[in-house]
């Protein structure tokens, strides 16, 4: 009986896989989207020219801040973010839309040890430096923040205007 169930499951899976494959050609218009593309752009390419923006992360009295905390970027521009954690504790830099950052922050509150290892974020220990290459391909208003619980609430967030 067990084998029969497994066999039925396999057939089911095959049917599902087949259905997905079959649906493929219908979405022709979307098949050229770049890997890693988001509403606010796509991972940058180190070998291509980029403008460098240095961002400092630190504690400041009762606050935690990014310096600077507002950037204006031309649509299509690639940015090399040079991140410097000059603080005494760990911080991170996460790019996203406002909604995405908020959803992500909620996840972090539930699972504070969650580490991001994707092209739009970087976690840095005290006194550590890092970099992110990002190409802003779409106009809009975006955010960056440190999502270690409590940090964003204490001021660790900023705005990115892409025009």
Nearest approach in angstroms of CB 59 to Cu ion is: 8
For the four alpha carbons of 69, 155, 130 and 116, in that order, the dihedral sign comes to negative
157 binds Cu ion (CB under 5 A): no
Nearer to Cu ion, 123 or 135 (CB): 123
91 binds Cu ion (CB under 5 A): yes
Query: What residues are paired with 145 via a beta bridge?
Result: 94, 157
148 binds Cu ion (CB under 5 A): yes
84 binds Cu ion (CB under 5 A): no
Contact segment (CB under 5 A) with Cu ion among 20-28, 40-48, 118-126, 138-146 equals 138-146
- DSSP helix/strand/coil, 37: coil
Nearest approach in angstroms of CB 90 to Cu ion is: 7
152 binds Cu ion (CB under 5 A): no
Q: For residue 89, give every residue at least 6 positions away whose Cβ sits within 8 Å of its Cβ, in sequence order, or none.
A: 59, 126
Nearest approach in angstroms of CB 69 to Cu ion is: 13
Residue-wise DSSP of 71-120: EEE-TT-EEEEEEEE-SSS-EEEEEE-HHHHHHHHHHHHH-TT----STT
| Cα 101 versus chain centre, distance | 9
123 binds Cu ion (CB under 5 A): no
Nearest approach in angstroms of CB 115 to Cu ion is: 13
146 binds Cu ion (CB under 5 A): yes
In angstroms, what is the C-alpha Rg of the chain?
Answer: 20
Interface with Cu ion (CB under 5 A): 91, 146, 148, 151, 156
């Amino acid at each position: 009986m067990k084998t029969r169930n497994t066999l039925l499951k396999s057939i089911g899976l095959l049917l599902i896989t087949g259905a997905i494959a079959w649906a493929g050609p219908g979405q022709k218009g979307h098949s050229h989207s770049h890997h890693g593309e988001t509403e606010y752009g796509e991972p940058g390419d180190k070998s291509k020219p980029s403008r460098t923006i240095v961002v400092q992360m630190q504690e400041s009295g009762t606050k935690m801040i990014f310096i600077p905390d507002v950037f204006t970027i031309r649509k299509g521009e690639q940015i090399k973010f040079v991140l410097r954690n000059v603080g005494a504790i760990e911080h991170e830099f996460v790019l996203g839309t406002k909604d995405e950052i908020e959803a992500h922050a909620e996840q972090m509150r539930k699972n504070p040890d969650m580490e991001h290892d994707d092209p739009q974020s970087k976690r840095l220990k005290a006194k550590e430096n890092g970099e992110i290459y990002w190409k802003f391909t779409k106009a809009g208003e975006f955010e960056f923040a440190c999502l270690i619980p409590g940090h964003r609430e204490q001021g660790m967030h900023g705005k990115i205007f892409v025009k």
